[in-house]
Structure 1
Amino acid sequence: MDIIERFLSYTRINTTTSREKGAAGIMPSSDGQMELAKLLAKELEALGMEEVVLRDTAILTATLPSNIKGEQTIPTVSFFAHLDTSAEQTNDTNAQIVSYQGGDICLNPALEIILKESEFPELVNYVGDDIIVTDGTSLLGADDKAAIAAIMNALQVLKADPSIPHGTVKVAFVPDEEQGLRGAKAFDVESFGADFGYTLDCCGIGEFVHENWNAGDAIITFTGQSAHPMSAKGKLKNSLLMAHQFISMLPGGEAPQYTEGREGYYWVKELSGNSAKTVLKMDIRDFYKDGYRDRMAFLQNLSDSFAKLWGDSSISINLSDRYENVANSLEGDASFPIDIAKAAYARNNIEMKAIPMRGGYDGAVLSQKGLPCPNIFTGAHNFHSIYEYLPVNSLKAASNVVVDVIRITAEEAN
């Protein structure tokens, strides 16, 4: 099957993640994710993959056995993609292929929805290429169905050409990445049996991720004392005002809207309550281990200071870690997945552009579980948007890189 046909067939299955079902602990959170997983399981079996296992969580795994005879030990490489698409748009996808000759692309004449070159200037890099776009009423689903198509196509290439040497290759497709990396968190790395891996998620052609946030959460509860206003003097302790005072003491300029690159932040994410009780939820992010620890310690110290000011029962704080920076798992001798990917990019005449990801992805969780897992591009742009698009040559390049990562892993073991 052609890689474009593969991708388009996957986009026809609506796999929008459900935040409501996810919050209730249901996985997969949408029926479409299981439908896609079942289709992929059939395709993997048709390709001759072994150990094809589909779990009731929609976590799907499969193995391509080594075709190299002998006693040399070849590391087992693995590849991951997620089944779900983001909940920003829930409509079915109506993908279309445009032969791009420059300028704007009219996605939907009836609704006058236009992908404008002035707003998305990187389009000029794809003049003369075919580009897959939406009709402007949904996401495209290249996040992450482009990754699924690239991985499946790579397996097809390896099966069709036994002259390409490869060790054992593992693949996994997981649900509900778009709401807290839930599939990766449920994934059993130990039984999977891979030595290292790669996710394919996000990014234009050539981009590569081997560092992201150290991420944590804070839930701060302020408990006040309500009183009727006619007798409130000396009695009323307004928890809403306590929360606002706490927020005002966060470092100025260290919020998402003021930061970029590797600059960390505190994100006031949610504030709810009344004068008697208020709950503040925050995200804490920092690329550096020491910086992350300092941020968490700062919040704890600030909470302790408020307890002295307002009383021990007036404030409580719950600090928790969400995921670590992938770079923590790729230091020193463990950096070889980066070197293999760099060689695979070069073999395809692609300049590697290493970027720090200001967010989380499945590889962060998998790396923390002991499976070093940087991220390869899919070639798509504008994820989580009706203006999401996928250049065809970029998708093909992603699949070619996967093949060469597998090939180079075998070559370097000899």
Structure 2
Amino acid sequence: MNIVDRFLQYTHINTTTSREKGAAGIMPSSDGQMVLAQLIAKELEALDMKDIVLRETAILTATLPSNVPASAQIIPTVSFFAHLDTSAEQSNDTKAQVVPYNGGDICLNTEQGITLKEAEFPELANYVDDDIIVTDGSSLLGADDKAAIAAIMHALQTLKANPDILHGDVKVAFVPDEEQGLRGAKAFDVESFDADFGYTLDCCGIGEFVHENWNAGDAVITFTGQSAHPMSAKGKLKNSLLMAHQFISMLPAGEAPQYTEGREGYYWVKEMTGNSAKTVLKMDIRDFTKQGYQGRMAFLQTMSNNCAGLWGEGTVSIHLADRYENVANSLEGEASFPIDIAKEAYARNDIQMNAIPMRGGYDGAVLSQKGLPCPNIFTGAHNFHSIYEYLPVKSLQAASAVVVDVIKITAERHL
């Protein structure tokens, strides 16, 4: 099966994540994710993969055994990850179409007048004379992350068809519900998987590579006031809503998502619920450096303590929690070799690596924190979570070729 047909086959299965079921602790949160996992498991069997395990959570793992002589030096086990779900921004079935691109705009849907415009998405100009896979304007394409699944599976097919390519053990994993808090990766058993390092494929245009992202945490601040009837409220009423607003006003000006970019961290006031008696404020805290992240968390703790001192005992409480670490923390010094291997694999395919700091999280952040160093390779897709999502075919093919070369280079360095 060619890689385009493989990808299109995956898009026919609706794997939209369900935030409601996810919040209830159900995994996978949508039936389609299990359907897709079952299809992939059958394809893995056809490729003679070993140790294929599909769990009730839809976490699927398998191993391509080493084909080097037993007497050869031990080759580290490399692994590759993709997620099964698509974002909840759109829940309609995908109607993907392949269009030859000669430049200019692409009409996605004549009846509804939906057009992918070069003026709005100028990077389209990089893909003239390529075939581009697009939506019909009524759904996501699902290249996030079905392009990754197709690239990994096509790489395994390539190795199966070319037994002269020497490799060590190669492990693959497909996990559910990445799109709502990296739930599949958090449930993933890294120890039993027994790989030495890995790569997720969950990134954007050709050449992009992620080996650093946020240190991420959450804060839940509870403001407890004192209710009173307004006719006799003087000196008695403590309005928790006003406490929360005053707390927000004391956050550093300009350090919010809408004012920051690149490696600039922030405090994100994300949700506030309550009344005059009790108000709960939820925040996200993000910073690329360990020191910066720890400083932000300490600052919120100090603010909470000071406000409690100002407004009275029991008026303010805070709960701080770590969500995931920067992948870079796991790729320092001698542990940086997955980056070096990827650089060589990109170069072998005449791809200029564009290492970008990811202002978000991905499965590799959780996996790295669990002890499996896991940077992120491109899939070639653009405009994730949008009806304007598109996937240049040559970029998809290049992603799969990079996976093959990562496997080859890993073996070459130890033979």
Consecutive aligned runs of 4 or more in structure 1 exceeding 2 Å deviation: none
Alignment match, 1:23:
23
- Code of the aligned partner of 1:198: Y
Comparing 62-71 and 287-296, the one that deviates more: 62-71
Alignment match, 1:353:
354
Alignment match, 1:33:
33
Alignment match, 1:330:
331
Q: What are the equivalent positions in structure 2 for 1:1-150 lying under 5 Å apart?
A: 1-69=1-69, 70-150=71-151
Q: Percent identity?
A: 83
Alignment match, 2:198:
197
- Contact 1:200 1:375 (8 Å CA) reproduced: yes
Comparing 67-76 and 6-15, the one that deviates more: 67-76
Give how far 1:311 is off. 1.2
- How far apart in 1 are the matches of 2:258 and 2:118? 25
- Code of the aligned partner of 1:248: S
Alignment match, 1:227:
228
Give how far 1:116 is off. 0.6
Give how far 1:71 is off. 3.4
Tell me the SS of whatever aligns to 1:140: coil
- How far apart in 1 are the matches of 2:330 and 2:236? 53
* Unaligned residue ranges in structure 2 (runs of 5+): none
- Code of the aligned partner of 1:63: T
Give how far 1:194 is off. 0.3
- Code of the aligned partner of 1:351: Q
TM-score (norm 1): 1.00
> 1:370-401: CA deviations, max 9, x gaps?
00000000000000000000000000000000
Q: Does 1:154 align with 2:155?
A: yes
> 1:254-276: CA deviations, max 9, x gaps?
00000000000000000111100
TM-score (norm 2): 0.99
Q: Does 1:214 align with 2:220?
A: no
> 1:288-337: CA deviations, max 9, x gaps?
00000000000000000001001121011000000000000000000000
> 1:149-179: CA deviations, max 9, x gaps?
0000000000000011110000000000000
- Contact 2:203 2:209 (8 Å CA) reproduced: no
- Code of the aligned partner of 2:361: G
Give how far 1:245 is off. 0.1
> 1:2-42: CA deviations, max 9, x gaps?
10000000000000000000000000000000000000000
- How far apart in 1 are the matches of 2:10 and 2:346? 26
- Code of the aligned partner of 2:24: A
Q: Does 1:181 align with 2:175?
A: no
- How far apart in 2 are the matches of 1:311 and 1:53? 56
Q: Does 1:259 align with 2:269?
A: no
- How far apart in 1 are the matches of 2:281 and 2:104? 46
Q: Does 1:243 align with 2:222?
A: no
Tell me the SS of whatever aligns to 2:314: helix
Give how far 1:199 is off. 0.1
- How far apart in 1 are the matches of 2:397 and 2:316? 54
- How far apart in 2 are the matches of 1:253 and 1:18? 34
- Contact 1:216 1:283 (8 Å CA) reproduced: yes
**What is the RMSD computed on CA atoms of the aligned residues?**
0.4
Alignment match, 2:393:
392
Q: Does 1:269 align with 2:270?
A: yes
- How far apart in 1 are the matches of 2:280 and 2:120? 38
Tell me the SS of whatever aligns to 1:313: coil
- Code of the aligned partner of 1:32: G
- Code of the aligned partner of 1:93: T
- Code of the aligned partner of 2:60: L
- Contact 1:202 1:383 (8 Å CA) reproduced: no
- How far apart in 2 are the matches of 1:187 and 1:332? 26
- How far apart in 2 are the matches of 1:179 and 1:402? 26
Across the two proteins, how many residue pairs are aligned to each other?
414
* Unaligned residue ranges in structure 1 (runs of 5+): none
